[in-house]
Structure formats: structure tokens, C-alpha cells
């Protein structure tokens, strides 16, 4: 029986998992991708230094997120996407 779910992947600015700079979400219904979102964001203040190693891994630079909202401002739209329960096609 195929599954329906929402998968989420965070990218962080540095080693601290509380420094998100991007999140990707994918909604899967009956085993097929039906929707996807990618959100860039500035990490929370105080956790927003970008480590060269992390930038090398994900390719997201401070310049790419400079004009993006901080994580707390972006969170409602992330939660709204994730909370929409995948339903049958």
C-alpha cells in the first residue's frame, strides 16, 4: 500500500541545528510527489554565522539569504505547508 506523507529537510548555516538557512518540503500522496516547496531564510540572530563547510555542502551563502525573512517569520508558512494533510488523488 503506497504511503502519503510530508517529508522535510533542513539546511543549516553552521554546526548548530538551530541555524536553519533553508528548508525543503515534499508532499507525497499514494507514493507520488504532488507538491514541493523550498524556503530560504536568515538563521535566527546570534546563530547566523555561516560555516565554510556547511556552505560547501549545500551551496547556500549569506548573500543568498540576506534579504530573506528570519526563521521565526518564515515558520508559519512552513508549518502551514507541512500541516496540510496529504490526501488521496
pLDDT digits 0-9 by tens, 22-42: 999 999 999 899 999 999 999
Measured between alpha carbons, how far is 7 from 24 in angstroms, rounded to an integer?
8
Backbone angles phi, psi at 83, to 5 degrees: -80, -20
Residue 78 pLDDT > 80: yes
Domain range summary for the chain, segments of one domain joined by +: 5-83
pTM score: 0.86
**CATH classification code of 5-83:** 3.30.420.10
pLDDT digits 0-9 by tens, 56-65: 999 999 999 9
Amino acid at each position: 500500500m503506497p504511503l502519503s506523507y510530508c517529508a522535510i529537510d533542513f539546511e543549516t548555516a553552521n554546526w548548530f541545528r538551530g541555524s536553519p538557512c533553508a528548508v525543503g518540503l515534499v508532499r507525497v500522496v499514494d507514493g507520488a510527489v504532488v507538491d514541493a516547496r523550498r524556503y530560504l531564510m536568515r538563521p535566527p540572530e546570534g546563530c547566523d554565522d555561516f560555516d565554510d563547510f556547511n556552505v560547501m555542502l549545500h551551496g547556500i551563502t549569506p548573500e543568498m539569504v540576506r534579504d530573506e525573512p528570519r526563521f521565526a517569520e518564515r515558520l508559519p508558512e512552513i508549518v502551514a505547508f507541512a500541516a496540510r494533510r496529504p490526501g488521496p488523488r
